[in-house]
Structure 1
Amino acid sequence: MTTVTTPAPRSDTPGSDFARLSREIADAGLLGRRPGYYTLRITTVTALYVTGWIAFVLVGPSWWTLAVAAFMAVMYGQVALVAHDVAHRQVFRRRRASEVSGRIAGASIGMGYGWWQDKHTRHHANPNTEDLDPDIEPDLLVWSQDQARAATGLPRLIGRWQAFLFFPLLTLEGFNLHVASGRAIANRRLKHRALDGTLLFAHCAVYLTALFWVLPPGMAFAFLAVHQCLFGVYLGSVFAPNHKGMPILSADDRPDFLRRQVLTSRNVNGGRFTDLALGGLNHQIEHHLFPSMPSPNLRKARTIVRRYCRDLGVDYAETGLIASYRLALTSLHRAGEPLRRTRVRA
């Protein structure tokens, strides 16, 4: 496990370090809603999503339909990113509007909105914290050497070479999203689980009916595989650079809110295309500090947050996209080292 050394908080002005930063961000007007931006973004994504399914019907039983499958994989990813912003109440101020639109977006890609929101909320509260962050649970991969030593079953088998298997395994992430959403319906603590279950079942029924109605079985299975596998790769590639390879905290030894969010997150450099492809999550540090900040404001907030962290002496991690994947894979390889040693001794 990586040890995090936290600098001493500043004490030259009253209030916590985060409170002072928050006031500076608010004074810059970066917490305000962006209705024009989200109207354009949601309208564009919806139009492209619908256009993709129209193209699927028009192309019909032709192998060119696999190109449509690849396009729809990207569209599913973009819808997921819109659902993410909606869930964080970046789009609508009122909870009711956020939940309704979030469920519609989730249903359109076969994702249980309530399950994902619960999981993602726990991640934001405890990023990269063992036993608290669901994103680093050792369900298939191990994220630390302590997890590797305790691993059994699939994590123990896969963990030895998980860095090499990471991107191939992402092809299963789309399927996992649907399966995990379905399994969550059995959780009695999940709010609105009957509604989420109905929407998930409706999506799967309509999706599979459309595939096997329009395409012959072999082509339908090929479309399903290309669509869901590329969707998984896209989704995993968006989220992998954000925290993987950053320090992992223990539940008993955690820094204050600002340092907890900054030290466990990584930004990805890039221009507007990077913002579009990653849905603004390339500004992960700012997003974790201000999760309700509209994503187009994150780039502007980055200048303020980076300077503020430099003044505090807090490490601010920022790198290119390819370098971020390399760091994540290096961390995965290092985490699996105890399993490789065990195999050598055996």
Structure 2
Amino acid sequence: MVNDRAPGYGSLLAEVREAGLLRRRHGYYVAVITANLAVFAGAWVGFAFLGDTWWQLLIAALLAVVFAQLAFVGHDAGHKQIFRTRRPNDAVGVVHGGLVGMSYQWWIDGHNRHHANPNHEEHDPDLDIPALAFTSRQVRIKQGFLRWMAKNQAFLFFPLLTLEGLNLHISGIRAVWRGETKMRRLEGVLLTAHFAGYLTAVFLVLSPGLAVTFVVVHQALWGVYMGCSFAPNHKGMPTMTGRPVDFLHRQVLTSRNVRGGRVADFVLGGLNYQIEHHLFPNMPRPHLRRAQPIVERYCRRHEIPYVQTGLLHSYRQVLGHLHQLGAPLRAADHARGL
């Protein structure tokens, strides 16, 4: 929940609200959802017409992009960016989660906890990834194979992203199986229909070897796309421990914007305006671009560090941070002659 009483936040909120940037944009989302579903359906029609050919890997790449765009809409629905009330947003989110084979309810629960305490070492689930270490404390407690991974995590980061799609599938199935979602039966039906339809289509049309390759390419590219969309937002930014600071500073200091104009807006699903999104999570995606200069001016005026960089430079910052954290482990192994 947004804390309107946070020091300095109220006047910024009033300025954004006066600019009309919290109004819903139903027409925009109708257009986006219609376009996504049209491309999604067209990709599968193309898949059926192409038949058993290696050209299908182009369809796999296209579907990776479409899956990410569908997931972005689910993300917006989870923040009530589309409608003002929870129920219609949840309907959109659950359906989009079913289309890509993940549990919307499971994902949005963790994502909301991330929003409440971004980059907080104890409370942000996005920092609790066993294969990686995002803080010095996490580095120190790694043992065995996970220690080796932490030592080399900058080199392993992008290869690990190829597994993110699989992780989303498995985590969603586990959440539904354990009853950890509010719509267990509905999501269970949607996930079953997704995997049954997806695997039947792939193995019915393609030869076994090509079918397996199609699935691997599709899921790996989707995972990389999703990971590359979310990684620049907070990784490499300051982390917090103990009692959080006020809402305004907590959200701005731990977030990073990515420049790139309308191309970045489309490719990253609006997540490139991460500071504005964290300050106003229910702001419709197309309004984030207009809110950006307002927020930047406000932060400069109040001497609050406001970080904005290019996409490639953001990845360099992420990888540099991960490599730096692994340095003590590499030094220790070097000293032991390993």
Return the alpha-carbon distance in structure 2 between the equivalents of residues 187 and 134 of structure 1: 19
1:216 to 207, 211, 221: 207
Does structure 1 residue 168 correspond to structure 2 residue 159?
yes
Code of the aligned partner of 1:237? C
Write the mapping of 1:1-346 to structure 2, written as runs, cut at 5 A: 16-250=7-241, 252-346=242-336
Q: Are residues 178 and 219 of structure 1, via their aligned partners in 2, closer, same or farther at CA, if it must alter by over 3 Å?
A: same
Structure 1 position 219, deviation (Å)? 0.8
SS at match of 2:154: helix
Return the alpha-carbon distance in structure 2 between the equivalents of residues 153 and 70 of structure 1: 36
SS at match of 1:336: helix
Structure 1 position 20, deviation (Å)? 1.0
- Map Cα deviations across residues 115-154 of structure 1 (whole Å, 9 max, x no partner): 1011101000010001210101142111111101011344
User: Given that residues 138 and 155 in structure 1 are in contact (C-alpha distance below 8 angstroms), is that contact kept between their aligned partners in structure 2?
Assistant: no
TM-score by length of 2: 0.95
Return the alpha-carbon distance in structure 2 between the equivalents of residues 233 and 107 of structure 1: 20
Return the alpha-carbon distance in structure 2 between the equivalents of residues 190 and 34 of structure 1: 28
- Percent identity, aligned pairs only? 51
Return the alpha-carbon distance in structure 2 between the equivalents of residues 112 and 15 of structure 1: 33
Return the alpha-carbon distance in structure 1 between the equivalents of residues 47 and 127 of structure 2: 37
Q: Are residues 318 and 192 of structure 1, via their aligned partners in 2, closer, same or farther at CA, if it must alter by over 3 Å?
A: same
User: Given that residues 145 and 334 in structure 1 are in contact (C-alpha distance below 8 angstroms), is that contact kept between their aligned partners in structure 2?
Assistant: no
Return the alpha-carbon distance in structure 2 between the equivalents of residues 260 and 155 of structure 1: 30
- Map Cα deviations across residues 7-43 of structure 1 (whole Å, 9 max, x no partner): xxxxxxx973111110110011000001111111111
Structure 1 position 307, deviation (Å)? 0.4
Return the alpha-carbon distance in structure 2 between the equivalents of residues 138 and 278 of structure 1: 22
TM-score by length of 1: 0.93
Code of the aligned partner of 1:332? L
Return the alpha-carbon distance in structure 2 between the equivalents of residues 188 and 345 of structure 1: 49
User: Given that residues 6 and 248 in structure 2 are in contact (C-alpha distance below 8 angstroms), is that contact kept between their aligned partners in structure 1?
Assistant: no
User: Given that residues 83 and 89 in structure 2 are in contact (C-alpha distance below 8 angstroms), is that contact kept between their aligned partners in structure 1?
Assistant: yes
Segments of structure 2 that go 5 or more residues without pairing to the other structure are none
Return the alpha-carbon distance in structure 1 between the equivalents of residues 6 and 235 of structure 2: 31
Return the alpha-carbon distance in structure 2 between the equivalents of residues 335 and 138 of structure 1: 15
Structure 1 position 87, deviation (Å)? 1.0
Structure 1 position 165, deviation (Å)? 1.0
User: Given that residues 270 and 288 in structure 2 are in contact (C-alpha distance below 8 angstroms), is that contact kept between their aligned partners in structure 1?
Assistant: yes
- Map Cα deviations across residues 57-116 of structure 1 (whole Å, 9 max, x no partner): 111101110111011110001101111111111111221111111110000000111110
Code of the aligned partner of 2:8? D
Return the alpha-carbon distance in structure 2 between the equivalents of residues 344 and 199 of structure 1: 51
What is the RMSD computed on CA atoms of the aligned residues? Answer: 1.3
Count of residue correspondences: 332
Structure 1 position 341, deviation (Å)? 2.7
Return the alpha-carbon distance in structure 2 between the equivalents of residues 58 and 172 of structure 1: 29
Return the alpha-carbon distance in structure 1 between the equivalents of residues 180 and 56 of structure 2: 41
SS at match of 1:185: helix
Moved over 4 A (4+): none
Structure 1 range deviating more: 19-28 or 152-161? 152-161
User: Given that residues 141 and 162 in structure 1 are in contact (C-alpha distance below 8 angstroms), is that contact kept between their aligned partners in structure 2?
Assistant: yes
SS at match of 1:313: coil
